[in-house]
Structure 1
Amino acid sequence: MKKLDYPGWRTALFIPVHIEKFVAKAHTRGADAYILDLEDSVPLEQKAEARECVVPAAKTVSQDGAAAL
């Protein structure tokens, strides 16, 4: 089994990717990583919309150098 290197993150912020105001402000929160949530926080009827938001949201939340997962 390959050993994974610890990235040194102290904080990770889960963001419902389909809520634009959360995505837009995420990079100001000071987290080390942002997890773009497509599952639990997204209502079933908005899953397709949320999947379309992932790439632009990743660019937005990582603009200050944080990891976007």
Structure 2
Amino acid sequence: MADDPPTAEELRQGMTVRIVQEDEDVHSTEAEPLLGEIATVYDGDPPEGPKVELKSGAVGHVRSVVADE
């Protein structure tokens, strides 16, 4: 399915991604995604998307990778 989040293996430090923060309801369609650069990719592929920490310090689950322009 095209809307599936990427796997942890597909993510690399420095990639720009959209995440839903951990303290938000990751299953909610109203959660506002954050845009940022990956600092750390955590192991595992939970159903809500791989867990990452952005360079800004925000921690959450990846919804999508932002294509380089």
For the criterion TM > 0.5, the same-fold answer is no
- Using structure 1 for the length normalisation, give the TM-score: 0.26
Structure number having the greater helix percentage:
1
Structure number having the greater strand percentage:
2
- Using structure 2 for the length normalisation, give the TM-score: 0.26
Say which one has the larger Rg. 1
